[in-house]
């Protein structure tokens, strides 16, 4: 039994305790009062900006030693910037405060109640609106109807907002005065009134009676758009999403005809195209389709372009932007749709088309090919190329292009199947094997999935920025030169390899050199990451030929960082943060899809942007032109199949490296891999039942680690070993169980 002194000491310790941290709203107030940015605070505390955002949003709490330092800083700020009194904030009983009286409409168009009430705003949207209003009044019992602006004035009005000091996680309108109403708007026609739903809850009255008038109103009065992501880039054009009711109002069909669906555009004889022509507006060569650009000639350096997005014509395909099993976008109110795409625009960029198109455009927006450079002699500006970007078209290499490329015309027969010695076969894993007798004694098969695998592989990857240099005569392999190498790796035997002093059974692992996991049979083309991995494993490599790029750079780094931050911030909105691990992370992931359906859609769009952007680097002929004829994508500087191959090779090599470390640490081996999903036998239904950990309970170094960051893994699904054996018996072992074990059918991130 403890003594009385011991008990009193324990009670005294509880009474003293640690100083209580101020609530999240007060942390934000103090930081903003001190005029310190979240990034600057994160730098001072040696942590990430996202972690500071989590502290100020109440999603997580600081831990020692940062907790004490953060507490000290907040205490100092609290003395310097004390809380305003009730009189200061207008929460008392005085008659001159906004809070003491019901919200009143501003001068101009009166506030009108909505005929169709949008769903209640999520905390992110409420926070965004609150910051825009900076209204110190207490939160009303229920949010009032959104305020409308008539013909927009220089200061469009925003709806009254719920008081919150939490920084918004979605866009709250652009900080640039030119784009103060956000990057986009959803145009809808309700109760005889055309409305534009913007981010942050703002609703604008649209006076335009025709489509050309709508474009001109957007360019002159709407204050929509997004500031450039790079100082040498260009601002994003405003995007208008047209609802079916708005389409009818402007004389457009709510459905395309069969011929129009085939061509992807309105027929040239449509009356709206006549209106556009008479108004002096121009269309791009793509015509008037689901994603349409309407523009006037620029005024000086100022673009005058508006992009139309028409979901009813297939602009937001369900497999990229929506939940295939339960589509939500068709029933979303305009305000909710604006929140969804506005959040995506704020965290990624204003959408330019499909997620794949946007992913590729994001690369260019973050690494612009050109810049304005002043001539010191004449003082005039001229165009100059940036050294860190893809700036021009270069010759292509036969082994790196797909079968239908014009360069292969006459080289092979029409349906010739090129061998590994003729073409680069760097693709994701698609591998499955039979279970051993020992593995059949396990009860479960547990699938884990690598977060944002393609984006994670792009991080830090050195790629070529110029054209290829052909090396012959048995060149020496140089891992610093990105490119393609013809080398024989059939001698690499991984059946018994020693890792950290422990021998593993390599026969239960796929080969790291082929997508199907088979051992190479002879000379083949490989990218630099694959050959470098063979060298890393201790084997000699002797290329006979190569196509390398001598101007190199980490072109994809800013692209990766932008998507990483977007992914992590959206996962935080869904209740999953970077400071979680183990069981806490698994539980948060299980709850995440039910936290906020709109943010779940944003998350899916971010993942689709990452995988689609990499796929676009080798966009194939989709029937636009005959075989061996140039298709439109070949005219892009960003058509770089060698970069795509290097990313996919890095995904495969990184997974194999972790498989080896996992086998060495815990003697467990995967039985199937589908792109970035791995299936392991397990005694229990959770990844924690087979993933190796140290004696301190931390993940074993170099192995797969549960977590939210790109490159870490999450639980994808669980099935029994008996289920797998039944599948093998009924399907003859010609399928991949990794493609079937999915708790969430949309979880995969393969190309």
DSSP assignment of 385-429? E-TTS--S-----GGGS-TT-GGGTTTS-TT----TTTSB----E
Cα gap 553→700, rounded to integer Å: 32
pLDDT of residue 347 exceeding 80, the answer is: yes
* 369-377 mean pLDDT: 89
732 φ/ψ sector (left φ>0, alpha ψ -120 to 50, else beta): left
Q: What is the pLDDT of residue 323?
A: 86
Query: How confident is residue 4, by pLDDT bands cut at 50, 70 and 90?
Result: low
CA dihedral 268, 273, 277, 283 (to 10 degrees): -80
Cα gap 173→214, rounded to integer Å: 20
Query: How confident is residue 152, by pLDDT bands cut at 50, 70 and 90?
Result: very low
pLDDT tens per residue across span 668-721: 999 999 999 999 999 999 999 999 999 888 999 999 999 999 999 999 999 999
pLDDT tens per residue across span 20-41: 788 998 899 999 888 888 878 8
- Name which of 67-76, 169-178, 317-326, 634-643 the model is least confident about: 169-178
Query: How confident is residue 72, by pLDDT bands cut at 50, 70 and 90?
Result: confident
Q: What is the pLDDT of residue 731?
A: 73
For 421, the token pair is 């010695």
Cα gap 336→392, rounded to integer Å: 41
Cα gap 147→137, rounded to integer Å: 17
pLDDT of residue 124 exceeding 70, the answer is: no
Q: What is the pLDDT of residue 735?
A: 78
Mean confidence (pLDDT) of the chain? 84
CA 26 from chain center: how many Å?
Answer: 31
Residue environment code for 485-514, b if the CB has 16+ CB neighbours within 10 A, otherwise e: bbbbbeebebeebebeeeebebebbbbbbb
* 215-244 mean pLDDT: 94
State percent of the chain over pLDDT 70.
84
CB 210 within 8 A of CB 250: yes
pLDDT of residue 154 exceeding 60, the answer is: no
SS (H, E, C) 345-374: HHHCCCCCCCHHHHHHHHHHHHCCCEEEEE
pLDDT of residue 353 exceeding 60, the answer is: yes
Q: What is the pLDDT of residue 125?
A: 39
* 242-251 mean pLDDT: 96
Residue environment code for 136-167, b if the CB has 16+ CB neighbours within 10 A, otherwise e: ebeeeeebeebbbbeebeeebbbbbbbbbbbb
Query: How confident is residue 51, by pLDDT bands cut at 50, 70 and 90?
Result: confident
In the block, residue with structure tokens 């010609």: 734
* 212-227 mean pLDDT: 95
Name all domains of the chain by residue range, CATH numbers in brackets.
19-93 (1.10.260), 123-350 (no CATH), 398-428+460-553 (no CATH)
């Amino acid at each position: 039994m403890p003594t009385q002194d011991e008990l009193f000491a324990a009670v005294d310790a509880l009474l003293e305790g640690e100083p209580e941290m101020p609530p999240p709203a007060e942390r934000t107030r103090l930081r903003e009062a001190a005029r310190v940015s979240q990034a600057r605070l994160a730098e001072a505390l040696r942590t990430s900006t996202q972690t500071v955002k989590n502290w100020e949003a109440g999603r997580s709490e600081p831990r020692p030693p940062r907790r004490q330092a953060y507490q000290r800083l907040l205490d100092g700020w609290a003395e310097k910037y004390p809380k305003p009194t009730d009189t200061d904030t207008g929460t008392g009983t005085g008659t001159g405060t906004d809070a003491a009286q019901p919200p009143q409409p501003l001068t101009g168009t009166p506030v009108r109640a909505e005929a169709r009430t949008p769903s209640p705003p999520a905390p992110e949207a409420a926070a965004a609106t609150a910051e825009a209003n900076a209204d110190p009044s207490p939160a009303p019992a229920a949010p009032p109807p959104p305020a409308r602006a008539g013909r927009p004035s220089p200061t469009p009005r925003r709806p009254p907002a719920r008081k919150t000091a939490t920084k918004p996680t979605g866009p709250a309108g652009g900080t640039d005065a030119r784009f103060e109403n956000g990057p986009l708007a959803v145009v809808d026609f309700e109760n005889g009134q055309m409305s534009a739903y913007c981010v942050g809850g703002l609703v604008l009255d649209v006076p335009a009676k025709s489509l050309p008038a709508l474009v001109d109103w957007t360019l002159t009065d709407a204050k929509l758009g997004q500031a450039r992501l790079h100082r040498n880039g260009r601002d994003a054009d405003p995007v208008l999403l047209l609802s079916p009711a708005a389409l009818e109002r402007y004389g457009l069909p709510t459905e395309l005809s069969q011929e129009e669906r085939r061509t992807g555009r309105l027929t040239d004889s449509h009356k709206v195209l006549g209106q556009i022509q008479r108004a002096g507006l121009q269309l791009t060569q793509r015509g008037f389709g689901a994603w349409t650009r309407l523009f006037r000639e620029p005024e000086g350096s100022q673009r005058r372009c508006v992009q139309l997005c028409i979901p009813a014509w297939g602009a937001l395909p369900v497999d990229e932007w929506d939940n295939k099993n339960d589509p939500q976008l068709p029933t979303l109110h305009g305000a909710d749709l604006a929140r969804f795409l506005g959040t995506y625009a704020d965290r990624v960029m204003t959408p330019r088309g499909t997620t794949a198109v946007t992913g590729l455009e994001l690369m260019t927006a973050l690494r612009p090919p050109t810049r304005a450079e002043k001539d010191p002699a004449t003082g005039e500006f001229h165009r100059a190329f940036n050294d860190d970007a893809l700036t021009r078209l270069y010759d292509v290499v036969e082994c790196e292009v797909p079968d239908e490329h014009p360069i292969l015309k006459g080289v092979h027969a029409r349906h010739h199947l090129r061998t590994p010695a003729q073409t680069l076969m760097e693709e994701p894993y698609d591998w499955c094997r039979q279970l051993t007798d020992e593995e059949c004694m396990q009860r479960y098969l547990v699938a884990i999935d690598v977060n944002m695998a393609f984006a994670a592989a792009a991080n830090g990857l050195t790629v070529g920025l110029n054209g290829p240099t052909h090396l012959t005569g048995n060149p020496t392999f140089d891992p610093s030169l990105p490119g393609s190498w013809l080398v024989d790796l059939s001698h690499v035997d991984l059946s018994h390899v020693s890792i950290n002093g422990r021998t593993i059974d390599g026969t239960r692992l796929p080969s790291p050199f082929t997508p199907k996991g088979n051992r190479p049979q002879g000379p083949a083309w490989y990218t630099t990451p694959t050959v470098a991995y063979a060298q890393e494993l201790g084997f000699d490599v002797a290329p006979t030929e190569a196509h390398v790029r001598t101007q190199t750079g980490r072109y994809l780094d800013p692209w990766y960082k932008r998507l990483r931050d977007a992914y992590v911030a959206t996962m935080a909105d869904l209740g999953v943060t970077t400071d979680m691990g183990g069981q806490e992370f698994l539980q948060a992931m299980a709850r995440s899809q039910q936290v906020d359906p709109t943010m779940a859609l944003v998350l899916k769009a971010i993942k689709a942007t990452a995988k689609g952007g990499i796929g676009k680097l080798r966009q194939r002929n989709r029937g636009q032109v005959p075989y061996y004829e140039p298709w439109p994508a070949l005219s892009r500087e960003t058509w770089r199949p060698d970069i795509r191959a290097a990313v996919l090779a890095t995904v495969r090599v990184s997974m194999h490296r972790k498989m080896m470390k996992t086998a060495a640490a815990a003697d467990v081996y995967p039985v199937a891999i589908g792109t970035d999903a791995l299936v392991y036998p397990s005694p229990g239904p959770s990844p924690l039942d087979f993933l190796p950990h140290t004696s301190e309970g931390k993940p074993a170094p170099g192995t797969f680690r549960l977590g939210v960051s790109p490159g870490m893994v999450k639980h994808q699904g669980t099935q029994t070993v008996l289920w797998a054996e039944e599948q093998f018996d009924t399907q003859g072992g010609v399928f991949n169980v990794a493609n079937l074990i999915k708790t969430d059918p949309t979880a995969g991130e393969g190309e």
